[in-house]
Structure 1
Amino acid sequence: MLVLSSPDVATELLEKRSAKTSSRAQTPLIALAGQAFNFAFLPYGPWWRTHRRMFWQHFHPGKMTSYWPVQREVTRKFLVRLLDKSVDLQKAIQYAVTAATMKITYDIDIDEEENKWVSVVDEAFVGLRLVTVSVQFLLEHFPIARHIPAWFPGAGFQRTLARARAPSDYMLDVPFTIAKKTASGSDTTFSTIQGILLALSLSPELQKKAHAELDAVVGPHRLPDFEDRDALVYVNAIVKEGLRWHNVLPLGVGHCTTEDEELGGYFIPAGTIIVPNVWAVMHDPQYYPEPDKFNPDRFVRDGKLDTDVLDPTSVCPGRHFAQSTLFITVASILHVFNIDPPLDERGCPIKIEPAQSHGFIS
């Protein structure tokens, strides 16, 4: 196993030498969580290339404008839901992300947060969210652990994975095709939005900057739209910083070498599992001073996005759809609402301590 914590080394191996490192590590966790069908986890080969090509036909940059009406409508319904003080914010975000995915993929309208499709997509990835790194290690290095019965003491991970397998099987039977990939994107987009809202609730001064930009570009009489994206530099910087500060795949998705390789005098044999330590890369002080601080200004220079700063955006095939969803959601929330910490029973702000969950998806 090779863990990459350097941006330069990760770029060299995973991008410049991708012909030998594009395959995926076939870990027991993926199959046990019911995700063996997901082409994000498929090994490199003809089957993977077919899936990738099909997906790209529908989610390349030139296709994004055709999805704007759906994303716009879902976002505005989401804003209306947020006006209800009793709303469950997590469910509302999950609804917004899943609703856009299902409408675009299947032309299925989701009008309620308790819709069965929201539950299916959420439950299908619960195993990957809740299974800890220690369990991943156990399953990888002690394969016999996969045969431990769910009733056995300490085998709670088996019950968690079983909970994820049922909806995953349902996704196959419906059948889901493109949604297999967009559903996994929904989960990471959902988590990223939560992270951004958390950071902004702790940073009223950053909200003021965003509000000033939105007032100047959009004005008070309409909502932000996709045509405003290039002009909303600071909002874009907030999204980029959210992707960096709260990276929802802290260890990425494992790659696997298909041929022997050599780097910096080290021999890397075929079959080596490559783990991109995304969290370390995104918190490297050499590239991001004060990495634990949520600071969108690091991405802005002279009123424009600074292209010299290491871009935290992943290179997954669904990134263009995810980024447009993040933009319209964050811009719309900031234009309509102030984001404050919750209040206790005495009406005082509750002190929030940011913390990451332990799992494949954080």
Structure 2
Amino acid sequence: MLERSAIHWSTSQSLVYYLDIIALTLVSFFLYRVLIASWTYLRSLHQLPLPPGPPGLPIIGNLFDMPKEKDWVAFSKWGDTYVFGMTFVIINSHSTALSILEHQNSKTSDRPIVPMASDLVGWKNTTGFMPYGETMRSHRTPAACKAFHSHVELEMHRFLKRLLADPESKRLKEHIRKTAGSIVLRISHGYQVQEANDPFVDLAEKAVQQLVQAINPATFFVNVVPALRYLPEWFPGGSFQKTAREWAATLDDLAGKPFAFVKSQMLLDSDRALSAEEETDIKWSASSLYGAGVDTTYAIIYTFFKVMILYPEVQAKAKAEIDQVVGNQRLPCMEDRKHLPYINGIVLELYRWHIVLPTAIPHRSTEDLIYNNYFIPKGSIILPNVWKMTHDPTIYHSPMTFKPERFTQPELERDPRQFMFGFGRRICAGRHLADVSIFLACAMVLSVFDITRYRDENGEAFMPDTEVTSGISSYPSDFRCTILPRSENAGVLVQAELAG
């Protein structure tokens, strides 16, 4: 009897303990929001006002006003906005972005902490998510990548061969991703990707897909309530800790396994032993190139195929230019770029028309700053709405229309590379490599292939839509197309270039 009572007492005690923990968590969250809101309010008593924004509720601010999808469209209507107990500044204009993120970059080059991605999984070790400081500066890569042009051209030749074997584009997305990943791995690690089931490409893709989920507040509540990161895995609601542990192992493999390959191939200087700190910098800066370059390259090249179907007149003009400048006895190369203004116009218009990171990666202010008589407090999250900047009708005529001519006419419209690769000291380190890869993809594909609408077995042709996905990264909606050699000689040329 005593034993049963003891068991009953123990069970009741455990239940009370769990309820106390839950209650403490809720109270802590409430007090945390009160503290943040109060602190922000006291700081707002500064002589200058905070940026304007929609009215919010006590404590939670504009939490329920945050858009569920395509937030860049909603943000384009908001302007500079104060939300959720802390300051979120939504920048919709290029001039404002320059004033805050370029001219005051010593105060606005930090990154906000996303607990699931940054701390628990470990993406804070990569260049894009790393807090601003000396370590991040050591990760920056040289701007020039001319020495790598031949490597990119070779991988693009392999890409053409994949397309030649897949005329109905059943694996188009896979081909593009493999090519983008192959370029980065060849340049960063001297590694040639296997044609089928390459372990490093598969690993990198897995890590990037996990990152997309890890930075989503709707997926992991710990991104909204950072204190939950201390919740143990065994506690109810703590299962995200197991997920974080598994994803951290994937990320560690992405940084470590290619690096181990480099060491085994003696591509690093074997005459001098690297310190642990140097090895860490090399591992993470090299792996950072994958996230910096592959997603942008993949999304833009995939968009290119869709655009060629939606705008056949653009495809016709581009082919005419290539035929005149390059001819049909060789493939285009980077040396041809200065002689192919219309192809270059297509590349720039792809950048403008489809923004891979519509609101970029957020910045965080490390000091109070003033802009246009508004007070932006230290710790503000700054989101540049790049999509709005590249679709601003005061900058781009008919912004929803794909028009390469806007970059080939005597009075050129603004170069979208001023927006789409980021701002200030956080500008994308892989931008030059991505730019070279995208230009060569467009030029080479158009030199040897016709891209037309996909037809089913009944002969019905399908026109793709212009929809895009929501999220931090935005991709074109899925579609099919037909990719056939322009001539018998074009097919032979693809095989000959690769063999050479």
- Structure 1 CA distance for aligned equivalents of residues 243 and 317 of structure 2: 42
Which of 266, 269, 289 is the aligned partner of 1:182? Answer: 289
Q: Name the counterpart of 1:93.
A: 176
Aligned with 1:341: secondary structure?
strand
Name 2:253's counterpart in structure 1.
170
Residue 319 (structure 2) pairs with residue 211 (structure 1): yes
Contact 1:125 1:164 in 2 (8 A): no
Preserved CA contact (<8 Å) 2:114 2:215: no
User: Could you tell me the TM-score, scaled by structure 2's length?
Assistant: 0.65
Distance in 2 (alpha carbons) for counterparts of 1:150 and 1:226: 56
The Cα shift of 1:137 comes to 9.1
Distance in structure 2 (CA, Å) of the matches to 1:322 and 1:3: 27
Paired with 1:131 and 1:212, the residues of 2 have a C-alpha distance of 45
Unaligned runs of 5+ in 2: 1-87, 260-282, 422-426, 475-500
- 1:192·1:246 contact (CA, 8 Å) conserved in 2? yes
The CA distance in 1 between the partners of 2:301 and 2:242, in whole Å, is: 28
Question: Is the 2:357–2:420 Cα contact (8 Å) retained in structure 1?
Answer: no
- Cα distance change of structure 1 residues 110 and 207 upon mapping to structure 2, 3 Å threshold: same
State the number of aligned residues.
Answer: 352
How far residue 172 of structure 1 moved from its aligned partner, in angstroms, is: 2.9
Contact 2:214 2:220 in 1 (8 A): no
Residue of structure 2 in register with 1:259 after alignment:
367
Distance in 2 separating the partners of 1:279 and 1:307: 16
Return closer, same or farther for 1:290/1:136 CA change in 2, 3 Å cut-off: farther
Could you say which residue in structure 2 is the equivalent of 1:74? 155
2:185 partner letter: M
Q: Percent identity over the alignment?
A: 32
State the secondary structure of the residue aligned to 1:3.
strand
User: Which runs of at least 4 in structure 1 moved beyond 6 Å after TM superposition?
Assistant: 148-153, 155-163
8 Å CA contact 1:130–1:358 kept in 2: the answer is no
1-side partners of 2:242 and 2:449: how far apart?
Answer: 40
Quote how far apart the aligned CAs of 1:122 are: 0.9
Counterpart position of 2:104 = 17
Distance in 2, Cα, partners of 1:157 & 1:11: 38
Structure 2 contact 344–439 (Cα < 8 Å) conserved:
yes
What residue is the counterpart of 1:235 in the other structure?
343
Local SS of the residue matching 1:188: helix
Q: Does 1:333 align with 2:429?
A: no
For the structure 1 residues 8 and 337, does the alpha-carbon distance in structure 2 shift closer, same or farther, using more than 3 Å as the test?
Answer: same
User: Secondary structure at 2:300's aligned position in 1?
Assistant: helix
Distance 2:90 2:97 in 1: 9
- Three-state SS of the structure 2 residue aligned to 1:285 is coil
Rg larger for: 2
Measure the CA separation in 2 of the matches of 1:342 and 1:70. 32
CA distance in 2, matches of 1:108, 1:278: 34
CA contact (8 A) 2:111 2:362 kept: yes
User: Once the two structures are superposed, what CA deviation does each residue of 1:7-60 show, in whole Å capped at 9, x if it has no partner?
Assistant: 1101111111111111111122432554221111111112212222xx23xxx2
Who is 1:46 aligned against? 134
Length-normalised TM-score, structure 1? 0.88
| CA–CA separation in structure 1 for the residues paired with 2:234 and 2:399 | 40
Q: Which residue of 2 aligns with 1:115?
A: 198
- Cα RMSD between the aligned structures? 2.7
* Change over 3 Å in CA distance of 1:248–1:130 after alignment to 2: farther
Residue 268 of structure 1 corresponds to 376
Higher RCO (CA 8 Å, separation ≥ 6 residues): 1
Q: 1:282 aligns with which of 375, 390, 396?
A: 390
The one-letter code sitting in structure 1 at the alignment partner of 2:285 is: I
Q: Distance in 2 between matches of 1:341 and 1:162?
A: 44
Amino acid paired to 1:22 = S
- Larger displacement relative to structure 2 (78-87 or 140-149): 140-149
Q: Is the 8 A contact 2:215 2:223 kept in 1?
A: no
SS at match of 2:358: coil
Distance in 1 between residues matched to 2:305 and 2:241, nearest whole Å: 33
- 1:134 CA displacement: 5.3
Report what 1:346 is aligned to.
458
1:130 deviation in Å? 4.9
The alpha carbon displacement at 1:191 in A equals 1.3
- 1:191 aligned to which of 295, 299, 305: 299
Pair 1:106 & 2:193 matched = no
- What's the counterpart of residue 245 of structure 1? 353
Specify whether residues 317 and 197 from structure 1 end up closer, same or farther in structure 2 by C-alpha distance, changes over 3 A only: same
Residue 361 of structure 1, CA deviation: 1.5
Residues 129, 282 of structure 1: alpha-carbon distance in 2 compared, 3 angstrom cutoff: farther
> Take 1:270 and 1:66, find their aligned partners in 2: how far apart are those partners?
41
Q: Tell whether the 8 Å contact from 2:352 to 2:416 is kept in structure 1 after alignment.
A: no
Alignment of 1:355 onto 2:467: yes
Matching residue's letter, 1:289: H
